[in-house]
Structure 1
Amino acid sequence: MRKLGIVGGTGPESTVDYYQSIISKYQEKAGNKEDLPELLINSINMYKIFTLLENGQTKELADYLTESVKTLEKAGADFVVLTANTSHIVFEQVQQQVSVPMISIVEETYKRTEELGLEKIGLLGTKFTMENDFFQKPFLAGDKTIIVPASNEQQFFHEKIVSELEKGIVDEKTKKAFLGLVAKMIERDGIEGLILGCTELPLIFKPEDLAIPQLNTTEIHVKKIIEVMFDEE
């Protein structure tokens, strides 16, 4: 069994979700509710990441995440994941500086859109995820279109993610506003699916809320994690 290393704390709510989902999916695949995976969690400071990004310090961010991955590698992790979409801004730089394999949430989400046959997809997340092109690269390479909200809408999503969802707060008024803005994207931009590009967004978006497919990036990531954990090659 391959041992997983998790860079968590980015934010704490999604780290808990990852842990619980991995346990559940692992036991389901193992067919044994009394079996548990051995894994490692290195919880780092989400707010430090936001500060580095606000200041445009992507090299420092890459170094910070690289250090956290190397800690897990030294502790015996066979592969590592970053439990946040925003952290993937520097995923390639981090992977180049470590020896342990890493699974990209972006690449796995792209593969899922391929499986669903989606061509025009909406993307929600922190402003760092929506403003930068790291999430869009594989989609553009695959002749798919990624649609993000308008600039003022992006700021609204970001503020609510940071001030509410990252702290585990689910406000019904916020949910109603989010769904209203997504409805605009469906009508205005013709999106065929929606990427929940922040691992806290499933706290507020539920499958029954929209008529179009929702791509829960945590769920997609965890599915691949379980596959790799059971891969003995």
Structure 2
Amino acid sequence: MKKLGMIGGTGPESTVDYYQSIISRFQEDTGSKESLPELLIYSINMYKIFDLLQNNQEEELAEYLAAAVLSLERAGADFAVISANTPHIVFDKVQQKVNIPMISIVEESYRTAHQLEIHKIGLLGTKFTMENDFFKEPFMANGKEIFVPNEEDQQFIHEKIVKELEQGIVNEETKKEFLVIAERMIEQHDIEGLILGCTELPMIFKPQDLDIPQLNTVEIHVAKIVDMITAD
């Protein structure tokens, strides 16, 4: 059984969700409630991540994340993950700076979309995730179309993620507005699926809320993580 090293705190709410989901999925896969995986969590400061990205300091962000992964590596982790979407903007740079393999939430999300055979896909997340290409690239490179909301809606979503969801606040009015944005994307772009490209978005979106599949990036990532833990 392999030992996971997880970068958490990005934000705290989703870190808790990751931990609980990994335990639940592991016990389900092993068929034992008395079985638990061994894992390490290094909690970092999500606001530092936002500040670095806001100031276009991607190299500094890569160094910050790589230092955390290297600490997990020294503590005995066999592989690592970053429990958030936005920091994956420098995923490749981080992987080059460390020795243990890392599992990309972006690549796993693409694989899920491919398996579902959906070709026109909406993407929601922080403004950094929506306005940059790091999440879109594997989809576009393989002939899929990926759409984001307009600039005004992007700003609204980002603000609510940072000021509400990252704080553990679920506001019904915010949910209504998010669903309006999603429905508008369905109407305008005929999207066949929606990527919840921020690990806090499942606090707002529930499977029954939309008539199209939702790609919950936490669930997708966790499934691959547990596969890696239990791999021979």
Query: What TM-score, normalized by structure 1, do the two folds share?
Result: 0.99
Q: Any unmatched runs of 5+ in structure 2?
A: none
What percent identity do the matched residue pairs reach? 67
1:4 matched to which residue of 2?
Answer: 4
Instruction: Report the Cα offset of residue 178 of structure 1.
Output: 0.4
C-alpha deviation, 1:31, in angstroms: 1.0
1:163 aligns with 2:166: no
Match of 1:204 in 2: 204
Whole-angstrom CA distance in 2 between matches of 1:5 and 1:99? 13
Q: Structure 1: how far apart are the matches of 2:11 and 2:181?
A: 24
- Partner SS, residue 21 of structure 1: helix
Listed as ranges, the matches of 1:68-147 within 5 Å are 68-147=68-147
Q: Deviations over 1:51-90 (max 9, x none)?
A: 0001000000000000000000000000000000001000
Structure 1: tracts of 5 or more residues without a match = none
CA RMSD of aligned residues (A): 0.4
Residue-pair matches, total: 232
What is the 5 A alignment of 1:157-196? Answer: 157-196=157-196
TM-fit CA distance, 1:213: 0.3
User: 1:4-44: per-residue Cα shift (whole Å, max 9, x none)?
Assistant: 00000000000000000000011111111011111000000
- Residue 169 of structure 1 aligns with an amino acid whose one-letter code is I
One-letter code of the match for 1:60? E
Q: What is the letter of the counterpart of residue 151 of structure 1?
A: E
2:29 and 2:84 map into 1 onto residues whose CA distance is 24
AA in 2 matched with 1:193 = G
TM-superposed CA distance for 1:165, in Å, is 0.4
Amino acid at match of 1:36: L
C-alpha distance in 2 between matches for 1:131 and 1:62: 19
Aligned to 1:34: 34
Partner of 2:13: 13
3-state secondary structure, aligned to 1:178: helix
Distance in 2 between residues matched to 1:9 and 1:154, nearest whole Å: 23
Cα distance in 2, alignment partners of residues 210 and 64 from structure 1: 37
Provide the TM-score with structure 2 as the length reference. Answer: 0.99
Q: Which amino acid aligns with 1:210?
A: L
What letter corresponds to residue 162 of structure 1 in structure 2? V
Distance (Å, rounded) in 2 between the aligned partners of 1:35 and 1:216: 25
Shift in Å at residue 157 of structure 1? 0.3
Q: Secondary structure, in 3 states, of the residue corresponding to 2:101?
A: coil
CA distance in 2, matches of 1:189, 1:17: 31
The CA distance in 2 between the partners of 1:176 and 1:151, in whole Å, is: 19
Shift of the alpha carbon at 1:149?
A: 0.3
For 1:185-209, what per-residue CA distance to the aligned partner results, in whole angstroms no more than 9, with x for missing partners? Answer: 0001111100000000000000000
* Structure 1 position 169, deviation (Å): 0.3
Distance 2:189 2:38 in 1: 44
Cα offset for 1:172? 0.3
